[in-house]
């Protein structure tokens, strides 16, 4: 797909179809992706990105739906990235989150995009961080990123969210999994959802005890524990208030700026690594004496580390010659 400059203008003006088209370009890693991200970059950095993670079945999607409704009640434009697991067999994804959020599908100020992980670990899709930028430029005040369902390594959302919410449920043993997964370090707010089922006090107490064991943050933000129910609407307004309070707190302390710098450093390193990898693979595939290298490796005349060092040096010399 060739990038049309009119599309950039229409995106910034808030055109829904253009946003969907450009997100598809990013998901498919189109040739114009870099140009698109470069051109919209000056229009990003304004949205409040909220990460929602937690165990499968904890009611994340229902909670997201309530947050959308609350945000819209405050006249805010909302973008949602709902990540679903991709099947290792068919390569497809169920994308059920879009089905569960149908009540907002006709609201022109709510943009919901379901994305398959496509084999990417970490709870997010590979394109998630770039789709956040598109929705930011599109004019969303709030961008909610819902992960697949947290496991011991599915915590990448913390790198891209300003406020990270961990959703637990009463009586499901989630708090024990939280300790194993290291969630204590990533949560800005703990939500015990489905509080209408009862038995929330024990879970809340266990979380508070674990927080007591942690060293206090120098920014003095202690993750609050909120009990919510999407059935009775209990705690939703309180949660919304805490989300805004957290953003205010990290901005006042200077931590918000630090988070942005860390995020940009991570993305910069990822981008450099990706570009170098692409160039190295291209250079290696064009190597004339590859058959000899493979024969030497097979005959144990050399080793993988020595050959990889040689190839990197050759590729970098070639790259600097092209610049």
pLDDT of residue 305: 95
**Average of per-residue pLDDT across 90-112:** 67
258 lies in a domain? no
Dihedral sign for Cα atoms in the order 219, 220, 225, 228:
negative
% of the chain surpassing 70 pLDDT = 82
Say if CB 47 and CB 79 are below 8 A apart: yes
Whether residues 184 and 98 share a domain: the answer is yes
Q: Could you tell me which residues are beta bridge partners of residue 50? A: 144, 163
CATH number of the domain encompassing residue 173: 3.40.50.300
Whether residues 124 and 238 share a domain: the answer is yes
Report d(CA 185, CA 223) in Å as an integer: 10
240 lies in a domain? yes
Is 65 strand, coil or helix?
Answer: helix
- Phi first, then psi, for residue 2 (nearest 5°) are -85, 130
Is 272 strand, coil or helix?
Answer: helix
Structurally, how many domains does the chain consist of?
A: 3
Whether residues 107 and 239 share a domain: the answer is yes
**For residue 304, what are the domain limits?**
264-322
Whether residues 232 and 286 share a domain: the answer is no
Last residue of a domain, one of 221, 253, 285: 253
228 lies in a domain? yes
Whether residues 30 and 53 share a domain: the answer is no
Report d(CA 32, CA 251) in Å as an integer: 34
The 189-192 sheet, strands edge to edge:
110-116, 78-84, 142-146, 48-54, 163-168, 189-192, 225-227
Report d(CA 180, CA 169) in Å as an integer: 16
pLDDT of residue 100: 56
Report residue 90's pLDDT band, with 50, 70 and 90 as the boundaries. very low
The answer, yes or no, to whether residue 322 has pLDDT greater than 90, is no
pLDDT in tens, 209-235: 888 876 555 568 999 999 999 999 999
Is 22 strand, coil or helix?
Answer: helix
Q: In the numeric block, which tokens belong to residue 133? A: 């930028």
Say if CB 63 and CB 95 are below 8 A apart: no
Whether residues 99 and 168 share a domain: the answer is yes
Whether residues 214 and 280 share a domain: the answer is no
Whether residues 270 and 283 share a domain: the answer is yes
pLDDT in tens, 284-309: 888 888 889 999 999 999 999 999 99
pLDDT in tens, 142-161: 999 998 765 544 567 888 99
CB count in 10 Å sphere of residue 220: 8
**Which class for 19: exposed (0-12), middle (13-18), buried (19 or more C-beta within 10 A)?**
buried
Is this structure's pTM higher than 0.75?
yes
Q: How far is CA 48 from the centre of its chain?
A: 13
Report residue 321's pLDDT band, with 50, 70 and 90 as the boundaries. confident
pLDDT of residue 192: 92
Whether residues 298 and 188 share a domain: the answer is no
Whether residues 34 and 50 share a domain: the answer is no
197 lies in a domain? yes
pLDDT in tens, 113-124: 988 654 444 445
259 lies in a domain? no
**Average of per-residue pLDDT across 45-65:** 91
Whether residues 74 and 205 share a domain: the answer is yes
């Amino acid at each position: 797909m060739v990038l049309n400059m009119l599309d950039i203008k229409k995106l910034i003006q808030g055109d829904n179809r253009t946003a969907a088209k450009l997100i598809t370009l990013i998901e498919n890693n189109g040739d114009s992706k870099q140009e698109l991200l470069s051109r919209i970059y000056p229009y990003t950095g304004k949205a409040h990105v909220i990460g929602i993670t937690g165990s499968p079945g904890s009611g994340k999607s229902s909670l997201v739906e309530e947050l959308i409704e609350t945000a819209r009640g405050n006249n805010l434009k909302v973008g949602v990235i709902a990540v679903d697991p991709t099947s290792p067999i068919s390569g497809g994804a169920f994308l059920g989150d879009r089905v569960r959020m149908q009540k907002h599908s006709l609201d022109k100020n709510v943009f919901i995009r379901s994305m398959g992980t496509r084999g990417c670990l970490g709870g997010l899709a590979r394109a998630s961080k770039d789709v956040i930028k598109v929705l930011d430029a599109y004019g969303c005040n709030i961008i909610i990123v819902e992960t697949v369902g947290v496991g011991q390594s599915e915590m990448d959302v913390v790198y891209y969210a300003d406020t990270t919410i961990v959703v637990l449920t009463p009586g499901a043993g989630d708090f024990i999994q939280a300790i194993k997964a290291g969630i204590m370090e990533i949560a800005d707010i703990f939500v015990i959802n489905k509080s209408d089922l009862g038995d929330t006090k024990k879970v809340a107490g266990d979380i508070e005890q674990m927080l007591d064991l942690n060293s206090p943050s120098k920014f003095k933000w202690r993750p609050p524990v909120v009990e919510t129910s999407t059935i009775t609407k209990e705690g939703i307004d309180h949660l919304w208030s805490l989300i805004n309070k957290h953003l205010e707190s990290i901005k006042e302390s200077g931590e918000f700026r630090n988070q942005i710098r860390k995020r940009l450093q991570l993305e910069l390193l990822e981008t450099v690594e990706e570009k170098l990898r692409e160039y190295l693979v291209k250079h290696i595939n064009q190597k004339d004496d590859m058959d000899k290298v493979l024969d030497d490796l097979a005959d144990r005349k050399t080793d993988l580390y020595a050959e990889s060092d040689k190839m990197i040096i050759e590729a970098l010399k070639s790259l600097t010659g092209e610049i």
